[in-house]
Amino acid sequence: MAQLIREIGKSGVSASAIGLGTWAMGGWMWGGHDDANSIKAIQASVDAGITMIDTAPAYGLGRAEELVGKAVEGRRDQVVIATKCGMVWDTDKGNYFVDEHDKKIHRYLGAESVRAELETSLKRLRTDYIDLYITHWQDPTTPISETMGVLEDLKREGKIRAIGISNVNADEMTQYLANGQLDCIQECYNMLERKLEDQLVPMCLENNVAVLSYSSMALGLLSGKIGPDRVFEGDDLRRENPKFSVENRQRVADFMKVLQPIAAVHNVEPGQVVIAWTIAQPGITFSLCGARNPAQAIENARAGEIALSTDELAAIDSAIAAHLGPVARAA
């Protein structure tokens, strides 16, 4: 069965509803990296019909972009590459955000910086255009009109094909809409984190803006592969995350048992049912799923080939209410 394909807003660019997320491939906050397996995972995704590949300069200080560039070389016309701007380590302009290794990351979306970031990303990705260019985090020191102005210029120049924004609030999205053609927002959304439904999803539906959801499996918690006995090591961000307490992982394991019969009907694993549920929600256009090896990539791709029935979706919603409430409330 072919992958479900959807359009990125009004851009005219279409991509698979299931996308490959490459944050973990960069290694930062994920306990290290494995470049060889990452490249194989990207290639396996493309082989399985996944066309949406999402990356960013901040994922390993350019490492993830470089891996994507290597993996899709010679296959550029088979993929829709989404990358980002606005998290920089070559300036102290904007707002300090976080340390990554020995670099201080600032959120900065000034016009000259956006142009410079794009040129660097093009080199890492071994391409001369980006399909979807996204402001990674918002910069309160730069007017949105300036940022949107340079993005529109880059689109007219043929260097980017669609414009997206990420980690925004309703007021920021309204300003972007007022200053150009916004094609996509990229936001955290999954069974445990559904705040997006309150304001941004209705705004997207009203304005024909696609929603690209990230963390669809809640950093792997909803993958069905992280049991109560799992130990997180190194700089893995899940070590201190209360959602990953032993008790919560047991609750998720119980939830996965409810999904097992539905998964069996479609010949998939419960984690793929989670992804399929995500893209079945009103207004959710795409679901980004991380993979660090070919097996994970192939499993994720299967989610784009199944369609859950109304009864199956209702059963899943009931199971979410019965099992995941305490996990969702963990902070």
Per domain, the residue ranges of the chain are: 5-241+274-306
Rounded average pLDDT over 12-39 = 84
- CB count in 10 Å sphere of residue 284: 23
What's the pLDDT band for 163 if we cut at 50, 70, 90?
A: very high
Q: pLDDT tens across 71-95, in order?
A: 999 999 999 999 999 999 999 999 9
Q: What pLDDT band is residue 230 in, cutting at 50, 70 and 90?
A: confident
Distances 13 to 31, 33, 55 between C-alpha atoms, Å: 34, 31, 17
What per-residue confidence (pLDDT) applies to 20?
A: 96
State yes or no: pLDDT of 31 exceeds 60: no
Lowest mean pLDDT among 2-16, 21-35, 237-251: 21-35
Q: Is the pLDDT of residue 212 over 60?
A: yes
The tens digit of pLDDT for each residue in 234-266 reads 778 788 888 898 899 999 999 999 999 999 999
Query: For residue 220, what pLDDT band results from cuts at 50, 70 and 90?
Result: confident
Residue 27 confidence (pLDDT) = 58
- What pTM does this model have? 0.93
Q: What are the residue numbers of the active site?
A: 59
What is the CATH code for 5-241+274-306?
A: 3.20.20.100
Stretch 267-285: mean pLDDT: 96
Average pLDDT over residues 125-134: 98
- Comparison of pLDDT for 243 and 233, the residue scoring more: 243
Handedness of CA 144, 146, 150, 153 (dihedral sign): positive
